[in-house]
Each structure stands twice: as structure tokens, then as C-alpha cells.
Amino acid sequence: MQRLLFGLLIISLPLQAISQLSGDLMVNSNFYVKDTSIGATTSQYLREFSSAEAWMFLNYSVAGFNFSVRYDLFNNSALLDPNEVYSDQGLAFYSANKRVGKLDITAGHFYDQFGSGIIFRAFEDRILGLDYAVNGLNLKYDFKDDFRIKAFTGRQKNRFGTHDQVMKGINLEKDFYISDYLSVYSGAGLVNRTLDKHTMDLLATEINSYALEDRFIPKYNVFAGTVFNTVVYKNFNWYIEYAYKTAEAIRNLEGNQFINQDGHVLYTSLIYSIKGLGISMQHKQTKGFTLRTSPFTSFLVGTLNYMPPMSKQHSKILPARYSISAQELGEIATQADITYSPNRKNTITINATYVTDDSRKELFHEYYLDYYHKFRTNFKATIGLQTIYYDKVAYENKLEPSVTTFTTFSEFVYNINREKSFRWELQYLRTKQDHGDFFFGLIEFNIAPHYSFSIADMINTKPLKVSDVKHYYNFFVAYSLNQTRFSLAYVKQVEGVVCTGGVCRVEPAFSGLKFNLTTSF
């Protein structure tokens, strides 16, 4: 009914008004080739043999209104849950937006966040199959250019429906321009989530099954508040945020029982930058800050907020192999990053990260160094090294030994002319745990603006989980024409953690073909 009314509203607008239609399309399709030697044996390899996902987004502007709809399709898909075969399709996102004076109105689905997202962030990440849109009403009002307020109410999107729990929130931001060198940007936000009766009944039933000393009275409502502040002084930028949530039923660290616990987060970052030098430092302390639609949702389902990542985001495959996600139940994390460019030809990057749980038990550390040099106009190179300590129990919930790695890597780019270029990578990861050592090599050839080809191999040179040396091949070709891009790849992928933007999940091994199409209009 909501979608029908949305369509009727668009049709009823005056046809003579100036209008504009834009949109984009993204299609992914996988073809599965069973490979028991690497563990590529999920349902798709045994029965379905192929899968597809597609997102068609349309934005229509007319008479001061902006209408957005997105058609989603999932056929035999493992994207939303790597261990599940999921098929469905339909309108998964629709919204109407209108600005009336200083008031901005959005009804339907929307994405937004308060502060850095610690108490509320509605966002989408298709690579991981995440869509945390809120379906409801979102209002924003600009009292002045330097004073803003926004408020919303609704329910979080859950595939083609919504979760049953209601969310509400309000956020205020004020800017202070003190001098030419000093500015302060302050804000505060409050979010409330209310459980539905069915969820409360299930929660009460489970709690009543506990021993008497472990029982407590669950609450329908949880409140989370935050205050945040950015100070910009000359070349310094300092951000600090503190968030607190009231006590509610959350799963304990073992995941086998509910406990009644409040939570807090302290997050701060300091950035200093001048010509040729950039220094950034971050620190975060977290305790019991689980914030979800329901106590029964887990992992990446029903998450209402976003914890700023506290480790370096890597683009190369082996340095990224043991990436981490935030530990919402308890974490103390510190990161420092230095980038120094004495001239246009040379750049050095140094990064260090150290993470413990709230009892100071080490969970992760990373030390990273790379050096970039431009030999001449058409040839440049990057070399580097990385060492990591990674707790498998904390980050993958696997009762396996913690992993210690030492990784070296290099990348070279050679431009033959303005159209043709070569890029190649060499990486080697050494570890005595998990799957053992890996070598990765890649050669890429580009013919601008249309073609891209690459061949890569990731070799488990000293395997610890399989009987012999394994090759994880990747043959890739892409063709681009104006706004449209096609790509086809034959891929063997080892099981492991996949991360984007600090959000991670564990994925099973993959063997087969991957097709991708993207276009915009």
C-alpha cells in the first residue's frame, strides 16, 4: 500500500513542470564451481550453481520535489548471509523529499547519522550486503547557517520489510567562528529505541529460565546520547565525542546469556597537517555499547550505529587479510599515522595500531611502513612491510590460536603512453598460524579509456589447513564505455575476513566466475 501511494503521488504532480530523471544500475552475478580442496562447498555449489544481485536506483525531481526508488533483486544470493541461499525482489527503497523554506522533509527511506555515527548511523554498503536505511520521517531545520537541528522517527529496514522496533532521534549542531584561525563545531544527539511486545515476551521468557541470581527485569526502551565537538585551530583539527546508553538486555561475551548492562564510548582524534607532513592520532574506549534493533539480532543484522574504525584501511589483499572490526562489548584502541612527503617524488607512510579489550588483554596490533618513489614521469613504485598480531577468538569467534604475521609488499606502475599502462604487485605473508604463508602476484594492463586486464595468483605456499600447496587464481577483464562498465573474472578466494570502511564479516571460500555491470544515466 505504501508503494502504491508513493506511485500515485508522483503521477498526480503537474506534468508541465520542469523535471529531471537520473539513476544507476548495478548487477552482480556469480557462477559457482565446486572445489572441496579449498572448502568451496556451500549450497550454491551443490544445487543452485549460480546467483545474482541487482540494484536499480531512480531519482526523479519535479516541482521542487525529489522522489527516489530502488528496485533490489536477489536470486540464490549469498550476499546478505554467506551461509544462506536467499531469493526475493521488489521495491526496497523509496522516499519523497521536499524543502520548504528552511525545513527539509523526507518521508520514506533515508540515510543519515549523528556525529561520527556512534549512537546512530543509517548507511548502505553493497559489498557486504548491508542496508541500514530507516523507513520513517526525517526532518531537518536550519535556524541559521551556523545552527541546525534534525529529528527522525521510524523503523530500520530489514531486507524488503522493516524490523518491528521503533526508533526516534534528535540532533543539534552549532558552529562558532571565533577568529580567522579558530573555529568550534559542537553538537549533541539523543536516540531512543522501543522494543515491540512480541520481542519483549521472548526476552522475558528466556530471562525467567535463568538461575534466580542471573535474572533481571528487561526494559522496553533504551536511550543513547552523545556530545561531540570539533576544534579547528590553524593546522590542527581536534575531534572528541562521548556517548552513553542506558542499561538494557545485551548478550554476554560468550553469547549464551543476557545481561543487564549500560554502555559508553569515548572517541577522539587529533590531526595536524602542513605542506608535506600529515600526522593523525586516534583513541577509543568502549564498554558495553551494543546498540541494535533487538537483543536477538547478532553480527551485522539490526545494527543501529557505527563505530569509527581503529586500524589502517588496506587496499592490497595480503595486508588486508587480517583486518579488524570494533569490539562493542569492550575495547581500548589507539592508532597513529604519519605521512611525510619531502618532495613530489618521495612519500613515507608510518602507521601503528594497538587494541586491547577492557581488561587490557591484547587483541590486535599492527605496525606498518611504506615508501613511495616516483623515478620519472612514467614510472613509480611503492614498497612496504607490515606486522600484525590478531586474536582469532575475538574477531572471528573461532577457537584457534592467535595469528602473528609479517608481510612485505611492492607495487609498480609503468605508463607506456597516455593510453597504455602496466601495474604489477608482489606480496608475501608469513605466519605459523591459520592457513600458513601466502604469496600474491598480480599483473594488470590498462588501455584507457576502455579496457583493463589482469592476472593474479595467491599461493598458499606453506599450507597449514590443507594437504598441499593451493593456488587461488584470478583472471579479470573489464570494458568501459562512457558511464557503463562490464567486468568478468574467474576467481578462487580463500576463506577469511572481508572489510570495507571498518565494517567486516567472515566469508567462506569462493570458486567460480564473477560478473559485474555498473551504469548511470
Amino acid at 96: A
Q: Is the pLDDT of residue 109 over 80?
A: yes
Would you say residue 65 has pLDDT above 60?
Answer: yes
pLDDT over threshold 70, residue 387:
yes
Place of cell 609479517: 406
Q: How confident is the model at residue 9 (pLDDT cuts 50, 70, 90)?
A: low
The answer as to whether 494 is a domain residue is no
Instruction: Answer yes or no: are the C-beta atoms of 406 and 389 closer than 8 Å.
Output: no
pLDDT-derived band at 14, boundaries 50, 70, 90:
low
**326 in a domain, yes or no?**
no
pLDDT of residue 182 exceeding 60: yes
**Which of 209, 118, 129 lies closest to 171 in space, CA to CA?**
118
For the stretch 315-327, pLDDT in tens is 899 999 999 989 9
Cα(327)–Cα(343) distance, rounded to whole angstroms? 39
418: in domain = no
| Domain-embedded: residue 226 | yes
- Give how many domains the chain has, as a whole number: 1
Whether the predicted model's global pTM rises above the 0.75 cut? yes
Q: Which residue has the cell 551504469?
A: 519
- Residue 318 is predicted with a pLDDT of 94
Question: Does 368 reside within a domain?
Answer: no
- Has residue 130 been placed in a domain? yes
- The residue to which cell 564451481 is assigned: 33
Grid coordinates of 290: 551494543
Whether 270 is in a domain gets the answer: yes
Cα-based distances in Å from 224 to 24, 138, 269, 376, 503? 36, 18, 21, 54, 21
The DSSP bridge partners found for residue 154 are 136, 167
Q: Please count the other Cβ atoms lying within 10 Å of the Cβ belonging to residue 279.
A: 17
Backbone phi, psi, residue 279, to 5°: -130, 130
Across the range 452-456, mean pLDDT stands at 96
Query: What grid cell was written down for 185?
Result: 563545531
Amino acid at 221: N
Rounded CA gap, 297 and 345, in Å? 50
- Cβ count near 218 (within 10 Å): 18
Secondary structure element (H or E) that encloses residue 510, with its range:
strand 510-520
Q: Is the pLDDT of residue 1 over 60?
A: no
Q: Which among 394, 388, 474 has a CA at the least distance from the CA of 431?
A: 388
Q: Percent of the chain, pLDDT > 70?
A: 97
Bridge partners (DSSP) of residue 186 are: 174, 229
- b (16+ CB within 10 A) / e for 224-250: bbbebbbbbeeeebbbebbbbbeebbb
- Structural domain contains residue 265: yes
Q: How far apart are the first and last CA of the chain?
A: 29
Q: Could you tell me the CA-to-CA distances from 372 to 344, 346, 351, 379 in Å, in that order?
A: 10, 6, 15, 11
Alpha-carbon span 303 to 68, nearest angstrom: 24
Q: Give residue 213's domain range.
A: 101-308
| Class of residue 193 by CB neighbours under 10 A (exposed 0-12, middle 13-18, buried 19+) | buried
